[in-house]
Amino acid sequence: PQTIYLKDYAPFGFDVREVNLIFDLAPNATRVTSRIRFAAKPDAEHPDFFLHGEQLKLIRAAIDGQEITPTLTETGLTCDVPDGAFTFEAEVEIDPANNTALEGLYMSNGMYCTQCEAEGFRKITYYPDRPDVMSTFTVRVNGDLPVLLSNGNPTDSGEGFAEWHDPWPKPAYLFALVAGDLVAHSDHFTTVSGREVDLNLYVRPGDEGKCAFGMDALKRSMKWDEDVYGREYDLDVFNIVAVDDFNMGAMENKGLNVFNSSAVLASPETATDANFERIEAIIAHEYFHNWTGNRITCRDWFQLCLKEGLTVFRDAQFTSDVRSAPVKRIGDVIDLRARQFPEDNGPLAHPVRPESFQEINNFYTATVYEKGAEVIGMLKRLVGDQAYAEALDLYFARHDGQACTIEDWLKVFEDVTGRELSQFKLWYSQAGTPRVKVEEDWGDGTYSLTLSQSLPDSPGQVDKQPMHIPVAVGLLGPDGDEVRETQTLELTEARQTFRFDGLAAKPTASILREFSAPVILEHGVSRDAQAFLLAHDTDPFNRWSAARVLATETLIGMITDGKTPGGDYLDGVLSVLRNDDLDPAYRALMAGLPTQSELAGVLADRGLIPDPMAIWRASETLKQAMAQHAQDLLPRLHSQMRVDASYRPDAEQSGKRSLGSVVLSMTTRLDGGELAASEYAKSDNMTLQLSSLGALLRAGKGQEELAAFYDQWQADRLVIDKWFGLQVSLAEPDQTCAVAQKLTGHPDFHWKTPNRFRSVLGPLAMNHAGFHHGDGTSYALLADWLIRLDPVNPQTTARMCSAFQTWKRYDADRQALIRAQLERIAATPELSRDTTEMVSRILD
């Protein structure tokens, strides 16, 4: 396969002035007629005319009305074109019903749907399918279906047709078409300058009762973007469609967002608090793309983080504003460590702005998205809130309607602040997670903090330069008072010392507050100091972080030296759980342990070989010890966390349910499932139903409830996804593979639907001790299914290969077992480009 490089970027030789499309829908033979107005760019001399096109049957092509016979290749079309402006026309036939890859125009339960990002438009018709080619689109959809949608504003419709016009120039990846037997949940929004916008959420008949929350989240997002970023919506309609077959969460097509049904449909009976929060965040994310992504888009796919990092950052700000900022931050850091750190420290490591790829769909990663958002958070911290706001205003004013680069983005910050950001820019080009080592010194009223940074080698990158790292630090006095409030130290050299004078007593430093940079802190701080921070830190993030460090050290002591859990950690967490002044959601997070996979990563980082069974046993033992330690408190907490008001998925109620669920898990370890069974019996919302069922399964009980759950929810595909997933994620290590294997034989295991495929094989890979069971059967089961899915859906297959990315952490036997599976996948005839690239990078 061909490798594409950032350094080879060259602009397209033509402007596209206008695109007209006509779709004649038919499941196996949809006709797409295009009329595209091109003009050679004034400065380009006889540029080559190449249009992308894949899996298209060309019926007819013409230039300025004259039929032509273009040269066709596997990837597109070329032909001679006149100088100046001309009209290119083509008629092609495509087969949406057999499009199982879910890229381009495809069908899901009788509904037509598109997914064009990144390079799916070329499977719809011949076109310069690159984000720096922007044009207005006019679309006519002919089809015998009640709802016919495309981007922009509706201009005409009648029996069997609808016409749409999108006045905002856009790249083809933002094109969308939806047609089907759908019902609308409708509402209305008036923008700050008085534009009246019709809002519709289109769903399959039967799903009408799951729309209210998504619609409300949309209206709140629209308002928030006006209030916080001064960004107003720019069309007369905003449509969202829910689709069951979808490769990812959602897609920000201009004026017509398409959502995986799991990322938009929710009711209290069928969705958990976590589902509601995720839906709110994704609705916000896709809506915010209207400015950061659509009005200002990317020059090329290497600049993906320009829109994704910024939009993730914006949706996180939104969630922090409407829920709890510390709880959101802690959740994001847990997620970053679980998904981005393994990527950044393994064979798939790549810069936030990658420099090469074979298949761009493989670069929609935690590094581009989540680390990309961290980079923006650091920039905001370094320049300050005021300058950040000014820089964003300048960005929107200067680049509206353009396809931009990271250079353009950084330049607005340089222009606003006068600061030179070339060292900061290394965050975009150097892969890997920086290590920051902490040394302290104290004497004569001066406390000094020496920070040293290093950045490990990563694929294709060695001997890296020091980064510009903002380290937020506060100091606490011996009685827990803050003696120096948070300030941002700018670590720019390999090793640097920062002094704090005039202190009456040796302080305890609270370092990397709010997780001010995505780094791994190598603590010089003692266990006593961590326990002190757990009790006193005024920064809620770092207070949680102290608990996490103590939990990690406790577990590592148990795993490597057979130690028993330390009282400092157990007492520290217990006093937090007892503290009614603290937000229940926050207390629930304080009681959590690092994941087993994270522990494996920490052990590997320290040069030790992780033993998945030993990690599992230690985690179980510590949870049991914690439950016993908290025994006397549990009944009181349980009744305090009961919610009597009718269900609301807001921060307050969901926080209570979240701590309630922690209490229920602990109690189940002590009462054998008595409380969980009674909670299950009276549960009237999915959060409680699932947490009590989970507690029962963990206790080795609950088979009857599991069967009843299936009977109750058989007709609800999103709930049945949970039913599949729960069983695999909670299976004991030596049962995991068998449970997953059995479920893949269940009549409801519709494996071609990505959500269902992921509901079993996702948790298989996430169940650390079960996946890494010494007999290697789980590796083989996952590989079997990846091989089976690849010809059907390369994108989802390739993405799930990352389950193997940490393989070099483990012992020689496990490495050999995993290598054999990776090689077996690699040797599969006609393996997709997507999966080939992933497997070969992982094996490298």
Q: Of residues 119, 280, 286, 679, which has the active-site annotation?
A: 286
Q: Does 361 bind ligand B3K (CB under 6 A)?
A: yes
Rounded to a whole number of angstroms, the minimum distance from the CB of residue 306 to ligand B3K is 12
Rounded to a whole number of angstroms, the minimum distance from the CB of residue 214 to ligand B3K is 15
Rounded to a whole number of angstroms, the minimum distance from the CB of residue 113 to ligand B3K is 14
CA atoms within 13 A on the CB side of 9: 16
CA atoms within 13 A on the CB side of 340: 26
- Give me the 362-381 binding string for ligand B3K, x by CB under 6 A, dash otherwise: --x-----------------
Return the number of the residue (409 or 724) whose C-beta is nearest Zn ion: 409
Helix %, strand %, coil % of the chain (to 5):
45, 20, 35
- # binding residues, Zn ion (CB under 5 A): 2
Rounded to a whole number of angstroms, the minimum distance from the CB of residue 318 to ligand B3K is 14
Token pair for 184: 């609308």
Judged by beta carbon distances under 5 to 8 A according to partner kind, the member of ligand B3K, Zn ion, none in contact with residue 622 is none
Which residues inside 320-349 make contact with ligand B3K, applying CB under 6 A?
none
Rounded to a whole number of angstroms, the minimum distance from the CB of residue 258 to Zn ion is 13
Return the number of the residue (95 or 252) whose C-beta is nearest ligand B3K: 252
Rounded to a whole number of angstroms, the minimum distance from the CB of residue 307 to ligand B3K is 8
Return the number of the residue (275 or 542) whose C-beta is nearest ligand B3K: 275
Which of 16, 251, 651, 720: binder of ligand B3K (CB under 6 A)? Answer: 251
Q: Does 537 bind ligand B3K (CB under 6 A)?
A: no
Rounded to a whole number of angstroms, the minimum distance from the CB of residue 172 to ligand B3K is 13
Which residues inside 257-316 make contact with Zn ion, applying CB under 5 A?
308, 311
Judged by beta carbon distances under 5 to 8 A according to partner kind, the member of ligand B3K, Zn ion, none in contact with residue 105 is none
Return the number of the residue (116 or 659) whose C-beta is nearest ligand B3K: 116
Return the number of the residue (178 or 589) whose C-beta is nearest ligand B3K: 178
Whether 286 is a known active-site residue: answer yes
| Beta-carbon count within 10 A of 153 CB | 14
Return the number of the residue (250 or 693) whose C-beta is nearest ligand B3K: 250
Cα-based distances in Å from 790 to 270, 292, 581, 758, 796: 31, 33, 52, 14, 8
Strand partners of residue 471: 489
Q: Buried b / exposed e across 629-650, counting CB within 10 Å, b at 16+?
A: bbeeebeebbeebebeeebebe
Which residues inside 529-558 make contact with Zn ion, applying CB under 5 A?
none
Return the number of the residue (248 or 412) whose C-beta is nearest Zn ion: 248
Task: Tell me the DSSP string of 305-327.
Answer: HHHHHHHHHHHHHHHHHHS-HHH
Token pair for 424: 């900061």
Q: Is the peptide bond before 40 cis (omega within 30 degrees of 0)?
A: no
Q: Does 308 bind ligand B3K (CB under 6 A)?
A: yes
- Give me the 14-53 binding string for Zn ion, x by CB under 5 A, dash otherwise: ----------------------------------------
Alpha-carbon distance of 394 to 413, in angstroms, equals 9
Rounded to a whole number of angstroms, the minimum distance from the CB of residue 235 to Zn ion is 19
Q: Does 839 bind ligand B3K (CB under 6 A)?
A: no
Stretch that binds ligand B3K, among 248-256, 392-400, 687-695, 785-793 (CB under 6 A): 248-256
Which of 89, 286, 598, 705: binder of ligand B3K (CB under 6 A)? Answer: 286
Q: Buried b / exposed e across 349-370, counting CB within 10 Å, b at 16+?
A: bbbbbbeebbbbbbbbbbbbbb
Which of 61, 94, 111, 118: binder of ligand B3K (CB under 6 A)? Answer: 118
The three state secondary structure string of 597-647 is HHHHHHHHHCCCCCCHHHHHHHHHHHHHHHHHHCCCCHHHHHHHCCCCCCC
Q: Does 252 bind ligand B3K (CB under 6 A)?
A: yes
Alpha-carbon distance of 575 to 569, in angstroms, equals 10
Stretch that binds ligand B3K, among 182-190, 247-255, 493-501, 704-712 (CB under 6 A): 247-255
Return the number of the residue (251 or 392) whose C-beta is nearest ligand B3K: 251
Which of 117, 273, 537, 834: binder of ligand B3K (CB under 6 A)? Answer: 117
Question: Is 690 exposed, middle or buried (CB count within 10 Å of its CB: 0-12, 13-18, 19+)?
Answer: buried
Q: What is the DSSP letter of 299?
A: S
What do you get for the CA distance between the two ends of the chain, in Å? 16
Residue 745, φ and ψ in degrees, nearest 5: -95, 0
- Is-contact 127 159, C-beta < 8 A? no
Judged by beta carbon distances under 5 to 8 A according to partner kind, the member of Zn ion, ligand B3K, none in contact with residue 668 is none
Q: Does 284 bind ligand B3K (CB under 6 A)?
A: no
Which of 148, 248, 602, 618: binder of ligand B3K (CB under 6 A)? Answer: 248
3-state secondary structure of 805: coil
Q: Does 285 bind ligand B3K (CB under 6 A)?
A: yes
Query: Which residue is listed with tokens 């070969």?
Result: 840
- Is-contact 680 696, C-beta < 8 A? yes
User: Diameter of the chain by CA atoms?
Assistant: 89
Binding site for ligand B3K (CB under 6 A): 117-118, 248, 250-252, 285-286, 289, 308, 361, 364
Q: Could you give the residue numbers annotated as active site?
A: 286
Binding site for Zn ion (CB under 5 A): 308, 311
